[in-house]
Amino acid sequence: MLKILQILFMLCSSLLLRAQDPVLRTAESLLNNVVQISVSFSDGSKQDGFGFITGEKNGQLYLATAAHILYGESFDLRPNLIQVQFYREFRVYTADVLTFFKAQDVALLQMSKPPALEYKSDNWADFFPQNYQSVRFIGRDREWLIPGQGEVYKIENDRIVASMSTIRPGISGAPLINSNGIIGLITEDNNLIVTAITLRKIYELFTQDGRFPYFFLYRNNNQYTPLSLFEKDLIAHNMVKIEGGSFTMGCIESRDGLCESNETPSLQVAITSFYLSKYEVTVAQFKSFIDQTNYQTDADKKGYSYVWTGSTSEKKYGVNWRFDVVGNLRDLSDYQHPVIHVSHIDAIAYCSWLSKQTGKTYRLPTESEWEYAARGGKLTKGYMYAGSNEIKEVAWYDENSNNTTHKVGGLKPNELGLYDMNGNIYEWCADWYNEKYFKPTLQINPQSSYQDLLAVLRGGSWKQSGSLSRVSSRHKGFPEDCNFNVGFRVARKL
């Protein structure tokens, strides 16, 4: 009887654990999507790892894995035989390499689909992971689902970094999983830390404008649409989903430091979900807009913009979006810096072009959306700056910028994985500026309808002080203004 009670207790505990751990439930549902990979080389050596299914076409499966499994850590080996085994299957299959990308350490394999294989082929991938989410992985040294879980603590460019207490060698190629599905492919493990390449980057590399079959299906109102059609623009423009919620907008001294008059009184605000670009719009992105439309910016029309002399701003003729803060023509190596010398009118024109290109509604974020996202949305930790109380961790400002803009994404992101929400450049918002914008009543998606000559700017810049780069800090500019420290990022409706 005691033994039966012990078994029942263990069963109930296991069921309770699964009920309380949505990441575990998701990982269990994806076991059939994961494969063990064993590679034999011509010199007689072998190497093992993992991978996962990314697509199917004409009876062929396509698998993602870490490239160093196939070519060795130094990429000086060539695979002689690649063998693949699925969860709970004794049969071993063979696969071939279609392509690999050394810089990203990821490869694409092709194999015949096992006749009886059933795997999760819809709604199993998450292209928009966020910091501080719980994660697990499948695959470790001939094991499958591993006890214990970790947490994402850094999302930068094409990489995800997570802590993981159960890490040990042998997990290369394994999928990193949150409660929504696979978020990346593990390429490194070191001292309880894993690094994974994001699904966005894998998608970008593997699709190659339709060269390789690769389908994630996105569920919308119980209808499944190929991700390449439904969300390709979100991936291309690095859009992050901002889950709606409520927050206290404006300045609270205990949270934000000394408050300026235009930051108070604080306001309870509710925001509905939307997308916001992870980075400020870059020179390269703006160039695509100009190249396709021949658009004339306000700086082009006026023939000048304002540049920084080292001590003051000065009108300089011939300067437009191609130029840096002092009015020198940018080198191509600087095209990942945020675009400057663009007006509020130019920013809206860019959003209109992007909307026509994608068939989606792109726009500037409202001031309330901007502040909600900068504070970390539902994941907020109440920081003074976007992601930290230490400004040097998250912002290029007057004390660390060396008097210039910097490549986007160079510092720590905030809780939502958004970069440069403070510092680097001021960002145009959709609202017209109103000194008395804040009102002490609950509002939903507030936007100033106050008709004035000035538009809202948020976030501070490379030449502003720390106090002017706080999340609550507000600034303003004429909508036709163009200068050395103002740019923008874009928002999109769901």
**pTM higher than 0.85:** no
- Name the H helices within 52-190: 67-71
Is the CB of residue 135 less than 8 Å from the CB of residue 171? no
Query: CATH top-level class for 242-492?
Result: alpha beta
**What are the start and end residues of each CATH 3.90.1580.10 domain in the chain?**
242-492
Residues near 343 by Cβ (< 8 Å), separated by ≥ 6? 297, 298, 299, 479, 480, 481, 482
* Cα→Cα distances 148→30, 137, 240, Å: 17, 9, 28
Mean pLDDT by 10 residues, the chain (494 residues): 45 44 89 94 90 86 94 91 90 93 93 90 77 85 73 86 79 89 90 88 73 49 46 78 93 93 90 95 94 96 97 96 97 94 98 92 96 95 96 96 95 92 97 74 69 87 96 95 97 92
Is the CB of residue 249 less than 8 Å from the CB of residue 464? no
Query: What is residue 18's predicted lDDT score, i.e. its pLDDT?
Result: 45
Residue with tokens 């080389």: 41
Query: What is residue 7's predicted lDDT score, i.e. its pLDDT?
Result: 43
| Alpha-carbon span 464 to 467, nearest angstrom | 8
Query: CATH top-level class for 21-235?
Result: mainly beta
Surface-to-core class of residue 430, CB atoms within 10 Å of its CB (0-12 exposed, 13-18 middle, 19+ buried): buried
The kind and range of the H/E element at 162 are strand 159-164
| Alpha-carbon span 483 to 64, nearest angstrom | 45
| Alpha-carbon span 283 to 309, nearest angstrom | 21
| Alpha-carbon span 418 to 463, nearest angstrom | 21
